[in-house]
Amino acid sequence: MTIFDNIAEDYDEDIYPLNTNEFIQPTVKALMSLAKGKDILEFGIGTGRIAIPLAKKGYQLSGIDYSKEMLAVLNRKKGSIDMLTYHGDMTLTRLDKSFDLVYLIFNGITYLLTLDEQLECFYNASRHLKSGGRFVVETFVPKVDQIVKDNVAPYALEEGYIGFDKYNLINQNMTSYQYSISEDGKSESYQTTHRYIWPSELALMGKLAGFKLIHQWQDWEGNDLEPGSDDCIMVFEKYK
């Protein structure tokens, strides 16, 4: 069982406001502009936050996710929308179809905890793409000052809630800890581990997997990635 199996039922509520149109629509609009055709595959499709709006626009969506419970929520939400979902590992699962666009967003690649796994994800995206198809990866940009200062970085400290990240500089793993206490005194805690990844690493992985890098954005409006950007969106095109 994955951590996402445990939080699937509350996931959409927990990521608010990222589950509002203010955040969803720019993402959907950008992905539509990047897709050269109608066939789209999402790695880490989750509860369908982005896939369902794309499907409603007339795109043929398929999705892979490692969490059965997240897929169960998605399948309830989508209703009669035509969408194919598969339970599996996005580095290994192979679908018998080629796509115009593959995307992996919202830090999804960081849940692959080794360099080899992250690179294999690029290879698997390439295997699923038509010639000239595109692969889109979104993740946070690591903060050097947080990584080197005591290897521990608080990111939330408020009444009833605390969150901090702990870094391992050797394997580039970061464990995020979250603790909360509700008004009725109920406490909850959970942690997730990620492999943080630099934009330059993403660019090299893309090159090794047969892609050319065509865009480096800091947001879904298409603004260029800059020093100090919090997030990066890398757009690759398959050339072989």
pLDDT tens digit sequence for 38-83 = 999 999 999 999 999 999 999 999 999 999 999 999 999 999 999 9
pLDDT tens digit sequence for 175-220 = 999 898 888 888 888 899 999 999 999 999 999 999 999 999 999 9
Do 52 and 89 belong together in one domain?
Answer: yes
Domain residues for the domain of 157 are 144-193
Task: Determine how many CB atoms are found less than 10 A away from the CB of residue 229.
Answer: 17
Do 188 and 203 belong together in one domain?
Answer: no
Task: Determine how many CB atoms are found less than 10 A away from the CB of residue 190.
Answer: 12
Chain centroid to CA 42: 9
Poorest-confidence range of 6-20, 47-61, 103-117, 142-156?
6-20
Number of structural domains found in the chain: 2
Do 106 and 218 belong together in one domain?
Answer: yes
Which CATH number is 11's domain given? 3.40.50.150
Per-residue model confidence (pLDDT) at position 129: 99
CA distance 232 to 224: 9
Do 27 and 43 belong together in one domain?
Answer: yes
Do 11 and 93 belong together in one domain?
Answer: yes
Residues constituting the chain: 240
Do 99 and 170 belong together in one domain?
Answer: no
Per-residue model confidence (pLDDT) at position 188: 82
Kindly state the average pLDDT of the residues 15-28.
Answer: 76
Residue 35 has pLDDT above 90, yes or no: yes
Do 76 and 128 belong together in one domain?
Answer: yes
Do 8 and 114 belong together in one domain?
Answer: yes
